[in-house]
Amino acid sequence: MNVREKLSIIQADFKAKKSRKNSFGNYMFRSAEDILEALKPMNVKYNVYFTIDENLTLGDFPIMHSTASIVDTESGDQITASSVVGIDLNQKGMQMPQKFGSASSYGKKYALGNLFLIDDTADSDATNDHGKGASVIERVTKPAITSVQLLKAKDYIAAGGDIKAIQSKYKLTQADINTINGTKKDITKA
């Protein structure tokens, strides 16, 4: 099995519980650590390992780039997914290390979410602004849909699902949309 096949199986089976509670917003969320803990059994089972790399771009508005990777221990082949988060240096109530640490945590979580297609529901932790207006830290990349997910999406649409739900989770090309709908017409303008 190559790394793409291994990743596809892991994406289809992977579950990470929302084990953390935000007492202010009264909701459950998952952290990057929760995701990594749930991935550990996959290392031996599929002969892979996972890494997360981060790069910080400084300027008027600091940006944290996080890249999650799955590496095949047999071949060395790897697949990566990234995320980008901004760091709000003017955010009240946090020390500077907390601001960077928070951005790092969000970036890791979203890079892992992109790699493993963690898409059960929108994560309240990512969208809650705690009454302060729109969050500066946000997910800015969507994963491309895989062939396995494309087949699932086609079945979802055939069962009466809405293409907008799929578009909210994946970056779709017009060819992907045509495949999902079994049509050649351009429905993105509908």
The rounded average pLDDT for each run of 10 residues, N- to C-terminus, in the chain (190 residues) is 94 82 78 88 94 91 94 96 90 87 90 83 47 42 75 81 79 84 53
Both 30 and 107 in a single domain?
yes
Under 8 Å between Cβ of 34 and 19: yes
How many domains would you assign to the chain? 2
Alpha helices by DSSP H, listed for the chain, are: 3-13, 32-46, 96-116, 124-127, 147-158, 163-167, 174-181
Residue 171: give the domain boundaries: 147-181
Is 102 among the domain residues? Answer: yes
Could you tell me if residue 11 is left (phi over 0), alpha (psi between -120 and 50 degrees) or otherwise beta?
alpha
Tell me which residue of 14, 8, 130, 124 sits closest to 72, measured CA to CA. 8
Q: Is the dihedral of CA 158, 164, 169, 172 positive or negative?
A: positive
67 and 158 belong to one structural domain:
no
What pLDDT does 138 receive?
36
| Residue 154 counted as domain residue | yes
User: Are residues 174 and 94 part of one domain?
Assistant: no
Claim to verify: residue 71 and residue 116 sit in the same structural domain: yes
Do 71 and 113 share a domain, yes or no? yes
Residue 43, pLDDT score: 93
Q: Is residue 7 part of a domain?
A: yes
From CA 62, how far away is CA 56, in angstroms rounded?
Answer: 7
Distance, CA of 87 to CA of 89 (rounded, Å): 6
Angle at the Cα of 151 from the Cα atoms of 147 and 155, rounded to 5 degrees: 165
